[in-house]
Chain A
């Protein structure tokens, strides 16, 4: 059972929101590796921090509709416990 009865993991909106989140997370990944070797690039740090905030909002919105993205205390769960719900990433 989903947090929202009108949405279903794997539906069109799920794919769209997931891909948008993957895109922002990918930029964060790239900036992260770049900053590991360029720790003094202030512009890149500013861009990174802005995207962290944007990412947080996008992930929250996704999780409200489709359940937790992370385990071990990093995402909220509805009732019943949603972590077990398919699809798992390799099943999508």
Chain B
């Protein structure tokens, strides 16, 4: 887990019909923490900026598909 994700552990009941996903996660991307963007932040080059979708590395939020972040566990606890 990187600094832009948070995890939680949902309650697992012995009566749940499917194997539980024990760890779930969600994103807390950088705009939640910047408030008001300061001046003169370091920049990507123009081509890097286009490829990242933003001019500023501080605003960049990489996304990892859920399938690679969450794994279904075995059985009940």
A interface residues with partner B (beta carbon < 8 Å): 19-20, 22-24, 26-27, 30-31, 34, 37-38, 41, 43-44
Chain B: interface secondary structure? loop
B window 11-59: CB within 8 A of A: 36-37, 39-40, 46-47, 49-50, 54-56
B interface residues with partner A (beta carbon < 8 Å): 36-37, 39-40, 46-47, 49-50, 54-56
- Pairwise interchain contact A30-B47, C-beta atoms closer than 8 A: no
- Pairwise interchain contact A43-B50, C-beta atoms closer than 8 A: no
- Pairwise interchain contact A30-B40, C-beta atoms closer than 8 A: no
Closest to B41 in A: A34
- Pairwise interchain contact B39-A38, C-beta atoms closer than 8 A: yes
Give chain B residues whose Cβ lies under 8 Å from the Cβ of A30: 49, 54-56
- Pairwise interchain contact B49-A34, C-beta atoms closer than 8 A: no
B45 to chain A, nearest CB (A): 8
- Pairwise interchain contact B39-A27, C-beta atoms closer than 8 A: no
**Contact of B49 (CB < 8 Å), options: A19, A23, A43:** A23
Give chain B residues whose Cβ lies under 8 Å from the Cβ of A27: 46, 49-50, 55
Give chain B residues whose Cβ lies under 8 Å from the Cβ of A37: 36-37
